[in-house]
Amino acid sequence: MSTPEFERDRSNRLVQLRGAMARAGIDAYVLPSSDPHLSEYLPGHWKGREWISGFTGSVGTFIATAGFAGVWTDGRYWTQAETELAGSEIALMKIPGAASQMHVDWLAANLAPGQTVAVDARVLGLASARLLGDALKARGIKLRTDVDLLDEVWPDRPALPTDAVFEHLSPYATTSRADKLAATRAAMEHLGAGFHFISTLDDIAYLFNLRGADVSFNPVFLAHALVGRADATLFVGENKVPQDVRARLEADGVHLAPYANAVAALSALPDGATLLLDPRRVTAGMRAAVAQGVNVVEAINPTTFAKSRKQEAEAVNVRAAMEQDGAALCEFFSWLEPQLADSGRAPIDEVAIDTHITAARARRPNFVSPSFSTIAGFNANGAIMHYRAAIDTCAVIEGDGLLLVDSGGQYLGGTTDITRVIPVGSPSDAQKRDYTLVLKGLINLSATRFPRGTRAPLLDAIARAPIWAAGIDYGHGTGHGVGYFLNVHEGPQTISPAVPPDPHTAMEPGMITSIEPGIYRPGRWGIRIENLVFNTLAETTEFGDYLAFETLTLCPIDTRPIERALLRDDEIAWLNAYHATVRARLERHVSGAARDWLLLRTEVF
């Protein structure tokens, strides 16, 4: 909950921003949730939207004018934003999907010809900049992209992170840096490009077999990269790369340069050179730095495809990481359930869930960090899709209902992301019905076979079908790609109706994707069940190659809240087969109470 002091600070920040806007002749100032790498999770230096508005969700756009301030965000964050913006003059502007550009329409409709909109091109995606520029130009509204007012109004703005970079080594890095660079150059040559500029941090970490800690939960580091036909330059903060790593990079033809020099390097490309850029993964500021005489080829980063299609050696490591993660969850749940069942013990709150589940993972080999901030929501808090418990506001887990726990880990051999819901006390019949419908959605998609190359967004309806049949829907995508000891959210595949089914979203062997349908009833409860799956080649027929999902996640799905009458025989068979696999894969990794819990929760249903 906000305090009077916080509200005064937030109000004063808006006053300061509007003063800076007036001095610069700016009528509307736009703050996207972004950085120069178009990251989902941001270093503190670029959390300007959060600092000015108080809204902490990872997706949203802030706009201020002289008489209005608002945050545009999608349905995953509405409940959270309503709470965090309460008491301020900042309005919540609800958009129907993550890909919506309603804030652009609002600017075009609410500003007059001749007025000026400003946004920092260094953190504005090129595709978004083109959309914004076209919409404003059609209305005679000016667009400035050369100004960052945050530097003027944010006196204690965090500095850039300085954590050291480290190598991702064999046996976990299964392809050498030299081989990855060679594959990237082959893709460049196919497109006729002599240079390729990369800004997205996970692409850079993948290509150079490097990792870092500049962004919470994602093992990446701030950098840009310029790959040529014979060598490459990595633009990274000084003193971030240890000397031994620097020497091995140089041996592979990778030179280091200061992070701030990336713009100058783009500007210095010779006339007639051909540069490959991904318009979805580079900022307008970087594109503007390219000299007029340089030919630009726009196509998806080759590394985006390459890192999404895990090699079999990587899949082996991921399966091993899933076993360790599952064993950690057995330990956690075997501790949690007796705590909740014992009325004589001190009540457990949602914050304790994060503490204990992270501790259980930390005891496992090759664990590095959580892969995102744990979501532990009891009853009404479970309906907040990206809820984060805080000590002063979290719920105590007692009484009857459902506890949603969405968590994950970063391991040297893979990234995990899992959601489970457990009953507390005696869940209601309505809660059991919703739980069973979500389970049906998970099973429906998990058991699906589909032609290779199917656009990932087209699979979304398969998970929703049992939920739609009950007149219910959920306000987020069904699945996202997952990295290999990299970002927990990774492209190019996304199973979501909000994402256009473009060719780059095609499902290919080796991709790891989440399946996570849900039902959310604001103020009452939320349910989501999530597994990660691996695309495998199932068969080849006269109609082509067909893919199937191998479920990677290994943790029992609680059967206690299931309304058995709603499940078909084949759905029950799927659940029993999954639990048999979970038991067989995890039993050797656990002992004592954790093993007892595993055996109990994987009994035939």
Report the amino acid identity of residue 293: G
CB within 8 Å of 331: residues ≥ 6 apart: 360, 363, 590, 593, 594
Which residue's entry shows tokens 């999954």?
578
pLDDT of residue 97: 62
Confidence at residue 325, expressed as pLDDT on a 0 to 100 scale: 98
| Residue 188 pLDDT exceeds 90 | yes
Coil, helix or strand for 32?
A: strand
How far, in Å, are 9, 327, 330, 460, 478 from residue 371 at the CA level? Answer: 32, 17, 18, 24, 19
SS3 402: strand
Rounded CA gap, 457 and 428, in Å?
33
Question: Average pLDDT of 84-88?
Answer: 90
Average pLDDT over residues 419-445: 97
Domains and CATH numbers, the chain: 4-153 (3.40.350.10), 166-302 (3.40.350.10), 309-601 (3.90.230.10)
Peptide bond into 347 cis (omega under 30): no
Report whether pLDDT(548) > 50: yes
DSSP character at residue 216:
T
Three-class DSSP category at 39: coil
Q: Tokens 């829907």: give the residue.
A: 473
96 pLDDT tier (thresholds 50, 70, 90): confident
Tell me: pLDDT of 120 over 70.
Answer: yes
Is the Cβ–Cβ distance between 63 and 105 less than 8 Å? Answer: no
Is pLDDT at 420 greater than 70 in this prediction? yes
Would you state the pLDDT for residue 494?
Answer: 97
Helix (H) or strand (E) holding 444: helix 429-446
User: Is residue 99 very low, low, confident or very high in pLDDT (cuts 50, 70, 90)?
Assistant: low
Is a pLDDT exceeding 50 seen at residue 440?
yes
Could you give the 3-state DSSP secondary structure of residue 110?
A: helix
Selection from 168, 310, 244, 222 nearest residue 38 by Cα: 222
pLDDT for the residue numbered 415:
98
Q: Which two tokens stand for residue 506?
A: 């095609």
| Mean pLDDT of the residues in the chain | 95
Adjacent-strand bridge partners of 295: 274
Average pLDDT estimate for 517-540: 97
**Where does the pLDDT of residue 57 fall: very low under 50, low under 70, confident under 90, or very high at 90 and above?**
confident
Average pLDDT over residues 294-312: 97
Give the ranges where 225-349 is alpha helix by DSSP (H): 243-251, 262-267, 284-289, 302-308, 312-341
Closest CA to 233 of 223, 241, 245: 223
The helix-helix angle for 592-601 and 569-586 (nearest 10°) equals 160
Rounded Cα distance, 359 and 354, in Å: 8
In whole angstroms, give the CA distance from residue 483 to residue 325: 16
Distance of CA 498 to the CA centre of its chain: 15
Helix (H) or strand (E) holding 537: strand 531-541
Helix (H, G, I), strand (E, B) or coil at 98: coil
CB-based contact 118:30 (threshold 8 Å): yes
CB 287: neighbour CB atoms within 10 A?
Answer: 20
Of the pLDDT bands very low, low, confident and very high (cuts 50, 70, 90), residue 100 is low
The span from the CA of 406 to the CA of 438, in Å, is: 15
Q: Is residue 66 exposed (0-12), middle (13-18) or buried (19+ Cβ within 10 Å)?
A: exposed
Beta strands in 458-500 (DSSP E): 479-481, 490-495
- Give the whole-angstrom CA distance, residue 445 versus residue 529: 12
Q: Which amino acid, one-letter code, is at 182?
A: A
600 pLDDT band, cuts 50/70/90, is very high
Mean pLDDT score, 327-341: 96
**Full DSSP string of 256-274:** EEEGGGHHHHHHTPPTT-E
- 1 pLDDT above the threshold of 70: no
3-class SS at 288? helix
pLDDT of residue 76: 81
Instruction: Return d(Cα 99, Cα 93) in angstroms, integer.
Output: 14
> Mean pLDDT over residues 516-531, rounded?
97
Residue 185: Cβ within 10 Å count: 19
pLDDT of residue 45: 94
- pLDDT in the model for residue 286: 96
Looking at residue 233, its amino acid is T
User: Which stretches of 418-461 are assigned E, i.e. beta strand?
Assistant: 418-424, 449-451
Q: Does residue 510 have a pLDDT over 60?
A: yes
Q: At how many degrees (to 10) do helices 201-208 and 177-190 cross?
A: 120
